[in-house]
A and B are shown apart, each in its own frame.
Chain A
């Protein structure tokens, strides 16, 4: 009897283990199947049209007669929008993470962090609606003044910070009794130059008119905001994980708060911060709804290429927008080209993932060596 019971138990253990293994394997199998099926429908495109046109031509006329499938402008559009999102999200996100973990009082952090994380829960179509209906007209009607306001907001604090550092360094050789006055004089002249420069810049920016508000700038900002919660949350977690002992050790050695932050805590949390940035960037590359609604979807390379005020088209939006039922004519290049684009997108995100993995490994090895 007890023999039978133990056999039963072993059988149950075997099956439950098998079940758990299956559940774990399921996600892996799903990923593999997705790659397989996308590749299966992408390869016919390359057989029909070759490689060169897709990657070198900028003529995207899938419905034309004859059709043209030059996606270079679409790749550039995706790259541009991602670059813009990085420019918005990375500095803001890391600064916010540092402020939350090391500068603001604990109670504020406990209140602010959940609110930032709610941003991640907003559906992307809501962001898209906002950027199409509110942000795009705002850019069209007040584009110049918004740009100059942004210039002030970015340049003034950065400039003042820089001035305080420069005046400190520049007056170091000066005698101690006049050092304070010298520092003040240097800072004041630099501040005057800064304000003068900013006034000229904002006057120039004020003259800019944005004819179409659905452009790369609009989407970059919105995608940046969407990537923020991921970056803040993950980076802040890794800063926290650096630990109290490390900070206290640094203070005990006589380091100031800034020195502790920049020379101890941030290097220790570096890998986590990089992981946070890459996660945020992946969200920006893969986002579809917002770009489909608010990037303008014009398949052109902006001139000059960094002109963020021009409408662009991205890979994701092209796949979503052209995947109408009208196109599901099996065997046509118009159908297969979308899978070819999807395959490229998949490869890009794979490459980014591998890169992040590699950076993390290297970082860990270096830190290990320091110990």
Chain B
């Protein structure tokens, strides 16, 4: 009898522990683009609330959606909206995906500061990366072959560029691939005939950002929707989080001043301005 009661209390304790762990544990999975935001938020939030444990993995937007549907994560970080069949799968497993737009991502086309080219159109950018335009003199610039530089194919920045500019067509084979936004900027600032692209947050005066279709890339033009190479970044939860819960406060960090600074530091554009 005594043994039974001990087991009973043990089970109760374990149960209460498990329950406590549930409320204090947030799992985030999904896009590599949104990953840095999710990680910065998690670090900040865990420092503010020492009892809370937030794990962030970056396995791609599709995987984020999948994890949300099979309930292995509470937040799917995504660089695109859920596809119709993902919504359908979610509804079938009694999940109601609620989308929070946490930041905006804009991509600027950059050239060497000494390059006389003043602007490009979307069609021209696409033709350059397709290899149809090979020399700056075809665009009224100097006689120099264009060195085209791209992010590596598994970065979120590449995904945005591929989707918004290339629209499914394949980039020319002579395109060089580089491992980070900073590395592209470095290559462009030291290569007179280079053309590359970086997240708008990585712009500085060592490179020249070209207006696209006569719109200058900046936080303002991305926010008002006039700059064409831009997209929103999302966090998706099952139902709207219970007000005041850790999940609620975590997902809504992007509304705070601190959250917006973090987003800017990573190189994205906050949706709201403090």
Contact = CB atoms under 8 A, between A and B. Distances in A.
Nearest to A296: B176
Interface in A51-68: 58-65
A310 B178 CA distance: 16
Interface of B: 32, 35, 57-60, 62-63, 144-145, 147, 152-156, 158-159, 162, 168, 170-171, 173-179, 183, 186-187, 190-194
B153 A213 contact: no
20 contacts: A58-B173, A59-B173, A73-B173, A136-B187, A140-B191, A211-B145, A211-B191, A211-B193, A292-B179, A293-B183, A297-B178, A298-B176, A298-B177, A310-B174, A321-B152, A321-B179, A322-B154, A324-B32, A327-B154, A329-B60
Contact of A326 (B32, B168, B177): B32
B40 to A, nearest CB: 17
A212 B191 contact: yes
Q: Which of B158, B187, B194 has the most CB of A within 10 A?
A: B187
Interface residues of A, number: 37
Secondary structure type dominating chain A contacts: loop
A12 to B, nearest CB: 44
A149 interface: no
B63 A329 contact: yes
Given A324-B32, A324-B154, A326-B154, A311 B174 contact: yes
Contacts, number: 94
Contacts of A324: 32, 152, 154-155
A233 interface: no
A329 B61 CA distance: 11
A274 to B, nearest CB: 36
Contacts of B178: 297
B62 A212 contact: no
B159 to A, nearest CB: 8
Interface in A183-227: 209, 211-214
A134 to B, nearest CB: 9
Given A132-B183, A132-B187, A298-B176, 4 more contacts: A58-B173, A297-B176, A321-B177, A324-B154
Given A211-B145, A322-B152, A327-B154, A300 B59 contact: no
Given A298-B175, A298-B177, A329-B63, A322 B192 contact: no
A326 B60 contact: yes
